[in-house]
Structure 1
Amino acid sequence: MAISKYGPYGHPNGKIGKLVHYMLNGQPVTRLVGRRTKSSPAQLVNCQSMAVTMRFLNHQSVLRFINSGFELEARGTVKNQHNLATSYNKKFALKGEYPNLRMDYSKVLLSKGELSAPKDTKLIKTETGLELSWNPEMPDSWHHGDDIAMVLVYFPGTQEGISFLNASKRETGKHSIPLTGEFKDDPIEVYMCFKSADGKEISDSVYFGNLNGEADTPEEQRQKRKYVELKARFDQVSVAYWQNIEHNGGVVVETKAFRNLQTEYLALKAKLDNLPGKPS
C-alpha cells in the first residue's frame, strides 16, 4: 500500500503493484521491486565490489572523514557525501580478481576540492606512534598557514580506524599520533587533506602510505583458517596411519579399519596440497 499525501496526482510513498515510490534527497523516485534471480558473473563481481567498498567506507572513522571531505562537493546536487565517495572508490580504488577483490588503499580518495593538497609527505613509525610531515610552504597567496589538517589512520586487518578532523595547521608541517602496542605492528594505511579555517575550501586527500605490510582480505583469512583446521586433522590422521604401519613391522595389513584410515589420510593429503591459505 502506498500513501499519496498530495492527492491522487501527487507523488505516492510506498509500494503499488510492482513499483516502489519514495523520496531521495528531496527527489521523487520510482523503481521496480527487485526480484531474485541467479547472478551472472558480472553481477557477482559488482556485488563483491560494492561489499568491499562498503566495508571500508562504512567504518565510523571513515564516515566522519568523508562526511567532511565530500561535503562541499555534494552541495547543490541530489547526491550526498557517501554517494560520491562510494562512486569514486568503487570505480578507482579496487584491485584483484573475483572472489578476491580488495581495496587498493593507495588509490582511495576521501575528500575532494580545489585547495592545495599536502606536498612532500612523509610517514614514520616512532617508538610511541606515528609521525606525519609535509611541506608547510604556501603555493600561492590564496592558501594560508591556518589551513587545518584532517588525518585518517586505518587498520585494515582489524577494520579499525581513527580520524582527526582538526589535527594540526598547515604551517606546522607535522603531526604526531600516539598508538598503543596492539596497533603499532598491525598493517596501517594513512591519509590526510587540508581544509580551510573558514570551511569554504578543502583539498583532495593524499595517501601518506602503508606501514607493516598489506592486510589479508576476509576471503584470505577464511582460507587460512580452513587450512589450519584441515592441517590439524591431517596431523592426527597421519600419526595414526604411520603408527599402524609401524605396529605391523612396516607391513600394510589390509583390514577394513586400515583401509578407511588410509582413504582419509590420502584424501586429506591431496586437499592440503591444493588448498589455498598455505603459509608462504
Structure 2
Amino acid sequence: MAILTNGPNGGFSGKVGSVVGYKWKNKDVIRGLPRKSHKPRSEARLANEQAMKLIMKSLKPLKIIVRRTFRQAAESLNMSAFNLALSINKKLAIVGEYPELTIDWSQFTISKGPLPGLTQVTTAWVGDGLKVTWNDNSSEPDAGRDDQVTFTLYSYKFDHWFFFPNEATRSTTQCTLSVEDDWVGTEVELFGFFMTFGGETVSDSHHCHVTALVNEL
C-alpha cells in the first residue's frame, strides 16, 4: 500500500505495483523493484558484484566519516556522500582479474575536497604508537595553520579500522597515534586528511603504506 503525501497530484510513499515511492533530499522519488532473472550471470556481472562487495566491506566501517568528507563533493552531483565514495573507490581502487580482485590501497580514498592536503608524509613505529610527520603547507592558497588533521589506520592483522579524529593541526607537522600494544609494529594502511575548524571544507585523503617491523614478519 502507498500513501499519497500531497493529495492526488503529489508524490507517494510506499509500493505501487512494480515501483516504490520515497523521499530523498526533500524530493519525491520513485524507483522500480528489481526483477528476478533466470539467465546465468555473466563473468562481467560476477566481477562487478565482487568489486562492489570488496568496496562495501572496506567503506562500511567508515560510513560516518565519508558521509561528512564526501558531502561537499556529492552535493553538486546530486548524490549521497556514501554513494559517491562507493563509486569513486569502485572505479579507481579495484585491481586484478575476476575472481582474484583486490583493493589497491594507494588508490583508495576516504575524503574528497578542495582543501590542500597532506604532503611529504613520513611514518615510523615508536614505542607508544605510530609517529606521523608532514610538511607545514599552510602558506598555500586556502590552507590554514589551524586546519585539523584526522587519521585512520587499517590493520591487516586484525582486519579492523582505528580512528584518530582531529589529532593535530596543519602547522604542528607531527603527532603520534597511540594504538594498542599488539598493533605496534604491524603492517597497516594509513589515511589522513585536513578539515577546516568548522568542518565545512576537507582535503583529498593522503595514503601511506606502513610496513611491519622485522620482528613482526
Normalised by the shorter chain, which TM-score bucket?
A: 0.7 to 0.9
Q: Match for residue 59 of structure 2?
A: 57
State the 1:85 CA deviation.
0.7
Q: Which amino acid aligns with 1:86?
A: L
Higher gyration radius (CA) = 1
State the 1:32 CA deviation.
2.2
| Residue pairs, 1:134-173, within 5 angstroms | 134-140=134-140, 142-173=142-173
Q: Match for residue 277 of structure 1?
A: none
> Alpha carbons of 1:28 and 1:158: their partners in 2 closer, same or farther (altered >3 Å)?
farther
| Matched residue SS, 2:192 | strand
Deviation per residue, 1:66-89 (Å, 9 max, x gap): 233213223455322211111110
The answer to whether 1:205 aligns with 2:205 is: yes
Q: Match for residue 108 of structure 2?
A: 108
Q: Which amino acid aligns with 2:52?
A: M
Q: Which amino acid aligns with 1:114?
A: P
> Alpha carbons of 1:24 and 1:41: their partners in 2 closer, same or farther (altered >3 Å)?
farther
State the 1:178 CA deviation.
1.7
Q: Which amino acid aligns with 2:88?
A: Y
Q: Which amino acid aligns with 2:210?
A: N
State the 1:212 CA deviation.
2.9
CA contact (8 A) 1:151 1:165 kept: yes
Distance in 2 between residues matched to 1:23 and 1:39, nearest whole Å = 32
State the 1:125 CA deviation.
1.4
> Alpha carbons of 1:141 and 1:53: their partners in 2 closer, same or farther (altered >3 Å)?
closer
| Matched residue SS, 2:72 | helix
| Matched residue SS, 2:84 | helix
**Is there any run of 5+ residues in structure 2 with no aligned partner, and where?**
none
Distance in 1 between residues matched to 2:35 and 2:137, nearest whole Å = 56
Percent identity over paired residues: 28
| Matched residue SS, 1:167 | strand
Q: Match for residue 50 of structure 2?
A: 48
Deviation per residue, 1:44-100 (Å, 9 max, x gap): 1111111100100001xx223323321322345532221111111011111122222
Q: Match for residue 13 of structure 1?
A: 13
> Alpha carbons of 1:156 and 1:88: their partners in 2 closer, same or farther (altered >3 Å)?
farther
| RMSD of aligned Cα (Å) | 2.0
Distance in 2 between residues matched to 1:34 and 1:68, nearest whole Å = 30
> Alpha carbons of 1:173 and 1:181: their partners in 2 closer, same or farther (altered >3 Å)?
same
The number of residues matched between the two structures is: 211
Distance in 2 between residues matched to 1:114 and 1:194, nearest whole Å = 10
Q: Which has the higher strand share?
A: 2
> Alpha carbons of 1:211 and 1:43: their partners in 2 closer, same or farther (altered >3 Å)?
same
Distance in 2 between residues matched to 1:176 and 1:82, nearest whole Å = 29
State the 1:186 CA deviation.
4.0
Distance in 1 between residues matched to 2:95 and 2:157, nearest whole Å = 17
CA contact (8 A) 1:65 1:152 kept: no
Distance in 2 between residues matched to 1:200 and 1:21, nearest whole Å = 32
Q: Which has the higher contact order (CA 8 A, sep 6+)?
A: 2
Q: Which amino acid aligns with 1:125?
A: W
Distance in 2 between residues matched to 1:131 and 1:64, nearest whole Å = 25
Q: Which has the higher helix share?
A: 1
**Is there any run of 5+ residues in structure 1 with no aligned partner, and where?**
214-280
Q: Which amino acid aligns with 1:123?
A: T
